Chains A and B, each alone.
Chain A
Amino acid sequence: MRATVKQGMAVFSPQGFLDGNGTSAFLSIEDIDATLKLKVDMVLVSLKKVVFFNRNGLDVFVKLFAKMRLQNHTTVGFCDYDTKKFNAINNFYKNDLNFSLFNTQETAALFTSSFKNQNKNVLLYSEDKSQRSAMAIELHDNGHNPIIAQSKEEFNLKCSNTSTYDCVIKNTFLGQMGQKVATRVTGNAIIYTVFSFLDAEIGNQFNIAYHNNSLNVGFRLFIFDAYKVVSMNVHALNFFSKLASSGAEYNATICFVGMTFDKTPIIFKDNMEDAGIMFYDQMDDILQNKELLEELGASSASNVKNKRIINKVIVSELQNFIHATTATIEMMTNSKAVKDSAEVHEIQIADRRGKIASSIGFYGDMDGMVILVFPQDIAKKACELLIGENTDDMELILDTLAELVNIVGGKVKTLLSDRHISVDITLPRTYASVDSLLEITAGRKGVQVDLSFDNDKFLFFLTR
């Protein structure tokens, strides 16, 4: 069974009956390995469409959860269940609950570091006091505003006023959470959360490929949220110094927020400042200061020192990129694509009005970025299959467009792998207007292919 992957969360969705006999067939070691390669923050099994399960049935998943945690420090658990199922799981594993339980996928998303919609007002309740606190801390760390109900009565009372809260959390249990360096994106800044004692392990916990790729796709401001860091040793110091040096060629800025040096030699701070790392007391000192943000590079993503040019290796695979794109959009729209023209130059968009865009980066044996520019109508049409209805909700369209470009990226990856070229793809980005896209692509040459789908114009741009 393949997992659906969204917002750093991989979800397996078995249906029907989970007993000891059948469960092992739902999830194999190969499925797990393939999912872990996607570097997700969480791996969950949805019980939404499970009508029956017993302890033997869940045990198969629980054993795989333990293996995953050991291998990848990923958060693992079950989601999408009702109170009856929640009580049953608690009953089965009352003294041995070392995985997480999230009443819905939306709740789980609040606890992933990749969740992009911060500042949610979240009402939460758990009978277990320590769980209430643990959840509140995690939510706060992820940029939300947790409101804790101290009793069931208070929770029920507050629940009746649904409009006050964006999300309500109940029947949820936090097992061991992920130990990776959490990542979230705010505007054009990327925020990494580090905690506890920082040592040589930071090299394993930090996703350097993601960081490098963020540099490639235009991010310039990287903030380390270090409020919960107790101290760091020389290995961590070296790691951050190197990170700052390697980012310098992209004109990137690295900041630390909330870091105290009570238990860390103050000389480390001097060394890090020498490497170009900046220190701030509060996150809002940066995020609420537009001038500073601009100065640090968060408002402009185009400030690339070494603009890289498209090379022969990429151009030789152009057909694969175009094929992946047209085949995906043909699949989603049930219409035929016609190639109008293909030229090498900076991206040229004749009429910017009513157009939205998305991009996805790839790295590995070759690296670069695919950009797709859609008139809104085609974007809507292309997303209809995924959404299931015609919608004008721009946020939903952009989210779905990200999924669509993810499918394109996946197809590119498969086609290239058939030619023994191994690449990984980044998270997709979407642009509500062409102007924000042009900030990224300014000065970059690439191959522009104009395509038509049932006479609707559509633009494909491949660059580095």
Chain B
Amino acid sequence: MITEDKINFYIDKIPPTPKALRDTLLLLNAGELIKASHVAAEDLALKAYLKNIVNKPIYGFKNEVSDISQIFGILGVSASQQTVYNYMMTLLSPKKWVLFKLNVHTFHDLQAKLSLNWKKILTHLQIEEREIESAITLLPASIIVAEALFNEKIDDVKLLRSVHDLDLNTILSRLCGVDLFDICEQISIKWEMPPKVAEIVQSSSGLKPSKDDSINTLAKWMHLLLFYELSQPIYVEAGLNNFIDFQIDFVSDIYDDFETLMEIQ
């Protein structure tokens, strides 16, 4: 169904970071918001993405924000960086979703919700570290990878899952010895993302705990946040709820805090 050759082919197909994006990220890293916004404005697709994202209701701006320097100014350095990483992920996303019933807008919404709630979690945990803030951007990549690898065999996958409760990540790791999160890590390396980003995301699978306790704690929050968002009707209907296995024991010790923070009743 999925072979190692297919995975290698997929990884080879991942484009390198476009120059404008790389320069934008470098400038954002240096805290040069104005310069970064000038470079970002040269990439029309990035410009359109940023405008679209920031003007979503979830950000709550009354008037339309269209100037890139204004957008970066509103978002601040970390969130701008995250948004640029989110954009990089969308470069990989398919034009037409087959396995998951998603589209450009619902996928962007998911990215935005994850980013905002992740920020809320980090504030609660009193963590201010750019690399950690941007770690959430890689998580939706696992959805893109699953879509890319499994959509040709969608009927087989459905049939297999109707007799045995296997998630896509388990199928992939049993067939090829690598899982969706390993491939996400490959993407992060190819795009020269900070190594910590990949490490947090790998642990957030709930299957490969890190040796570093602080990373594990972050991974638990990330795992729970992912399933919190994937329990929203739109993503359940998209078929995302059970694409990876929810590790309920992994998150049991932080659940009460999560419930309070997200005001779940």
Contact = CB atoms under 8 A, between A and B. Distances in A.
The finding on whether chains A and B are genuine partners in a shared complex, rather than unrelated, reads yes
Interface of A: 1-6, 11, 13-19, 21-22, 24-26, 48-52, 54, 327-328, 330-331, 334, 384-386, 388, 403, 406-407, 410-411, 414
A410 B163 contact: yes
Nearest to A2: B162
A406 B163 contact: yes
In the A-B complex, the 6 residue pairs with the closest CB atoms: A16-B231, A16-B227, A25-B236, A17-B231, A25-B233, A15-B246
Interface of B: 1-3, 153, 155-156, 158-166, 170-171, 174-176, 224, 227-228, 230-234, 236-237, 241-242, 245-246, 248, 251, 255, 259, 264-265
A333 to B, nearest CB: 9
A384 B177 CA distance: 13
A360 to B, nearest CB: 12
A461 to B, nearest CB: 22
Given A49-B248, A386-B164, A2 B230 contact: no
Contacts of A1: 236, 241-242
B156 A15 contact: no
Contacts of A386: 164, 166
Contacts of B230: 15-16
Contacts of B251: 51
B164 to A, nearest CB: 5
B219 to A, nearest CB: 16
A15 B242 contact: yes
A21 B265 CA distance: 12
Interface of A is mostly: mixed
A330 B237 CA distance: 30
A50 B231 CA distance: 10
Contacts of B153: 331
A16 to B, nearest CB: 4
B241 to A, nearest CB: 5
Given A4-B164, A52-B264, A22 B231 contact: yes
* Most chain A CB neighbours (cut-off 10 Å) among B161, B233, B234: B233
A54 B265 CA distance: 8
Nearest to B239: A1
Contact of B264 (A5, A15, A17, A50): A17
Given A17-B231, A52-B264, A331-B156, A410 B162 contact: yes
A45 to B, nearest CB: 13
23 contacts: A1-B236, A4-B161, A5-B163, A14-B236, A14-B242, A15-B230, A15-B241, A17-B228, A19-B264, A24-B233, A25-B236, A50-B248, A51-B227, A51-B248, A51-B251, A51-B255, A52-B264, A328-B156, A330-B1, A385-B174, A388-B174, A411-B156, A414-B159
A26 B251 CA distance: 22
A115 B199 CA distance: 44
Interface centre among A16, A328, A406 (most CB of B within 10 A): A16
B161 A334 contact: no
Contacts of B233: 21-22, 24-25
Given A22-B233, A385-B171, A52 B259 contact: yes
Contacts of B163: 4-6, 403, 406-407, 410
A22 B162 contact: no
B155 A18 contact: no
B248 A403 contact: no
B236 A17 contact: no
A51 B259 CA distance: 10
A322 B181 CA distance: 35
A6 B163 CA distance: 7
Given A1-B242, A331-B153, A410-B162, 7 more contacts: A2-B158, A17-B228, A19-B231, A19-B264, A25-B234, A331-B156, A385-B174
A414 B155 contact: yes
A314 to B, nearest CB: 22
Contacts of B165: 4, 11, 13
Contacts of A6: 163
Contacts of A331: 1, 153, 156, 160
Contacts of A25: 233-234, 236-237
Given A2-B158, A5-B162, A334 B175 contact: yes
Most chain B CB within a 10 A radius of its CB, from A14, A24, A331: A331
Contacts of B171: 385
A206 B251 CA distance: 46
A2 B162 CA distance: 6
A52 B174 CA distance: 30
Contact of B232 (A15, A22, A48): A22
Nearest to A14: B241
Nearest to A389: B174
A116 to B, nearest CB: 16
Contact of B162 (A3, A18, A334): A3
A13 B242 CA distance: 8
Given A15-B227, A49-B248, A331-B156, A21 B164 contact: no
Nearest to A403: B163
A16 B255 CA distance: 11
Contacts of B242: 1, 13-15
Contacts of B155: 414
A414 B157 CA distance: 13
A407 B160 contact: yes
B257 to A, nearest CB: 13
A26 B236 CA distance: 6
A386 B245 CA distance: 15
A85 B165 CA distance: 22
B175 A49 contact: no
Nearest to A404: B163
A35 to B, nearest CB: 10
A410 B156 CA distance: 10
A25 B163 CA distance: 21
Nearest to A410: B159
Contacts of A16: 227-228, 230-231, 241, 246
Contacts of A5: 162-163
A391 to B, nearest CB: 13
A75 to B, nearest CB: 20
Nearest to A24: B233
Contacts of B174: 384-385, 388
A6 B161 CA distance: 12
B178 to A, nearest CB: 13
A5 B165 CA distance: 9
Nearest to B237: A25
B166 A411 contact: no
